[in-house]
Amino acid sequence: QKEVEQNSGPLSVPEGAIASLNCTYSDRGSQSFFWYRQYSGKSPELIMFIYSNGDKEDGRFTAQLNKASQYVSLLIRDSQPSDSATYLCAADQGAQKLVFGQGTRLTINP
């Protein structure tokens, strides 16, 4: 069973600090990786995707990919209370399949 692993949390971060969310995956064939944000009672919302090793920045969000270590992370700078949500990591395993982790619940404390 190809898996994506995330720490379920909750992860608590003070407002204005950097939140760091981590994800590991088991399928070395995965080529693309996605971070989704899901507010309670809502559907997942795509935040970022990354295909290449290294960092990809979009506003306050930075995705990091290390294929050798099979590791993906999401950094949120200047965390805001509105960033409080569950963050889902997903890996593309080909054949139109995304495999999701169970999500990390993030709480930003004012």
Partner 1 sequence: ETGVTQTPRHLVMGMTNKKSLKCEQHLGHNAMYWYKQSAKKPLELMFVYSLEERVENNSVPSRFSPECPNSSHLFLHLHTLQPEDSALYLCASSQDTGPTNNEQFFGPGTRLTVL
Residue ranges in contact with partner 1 by CB under 8 A: 4, 31-32, 34, 36, 42-46, 49, 51, 88, 90, 92, 94-103
Residue type, 81: P
Answer whether 53's CB lies under 8 Å from 66's CB: yes
Half-sphere exposure of 52 (CA within 13 A, CB side): 4
Cβ of residue 102: shortest distance to partner 1, in angstroms?
5
If the CB atoms of residues 32 and 70 are measured against partner 1, the closer one turns out to be 32
| DSSP summary character for residue 83 | G
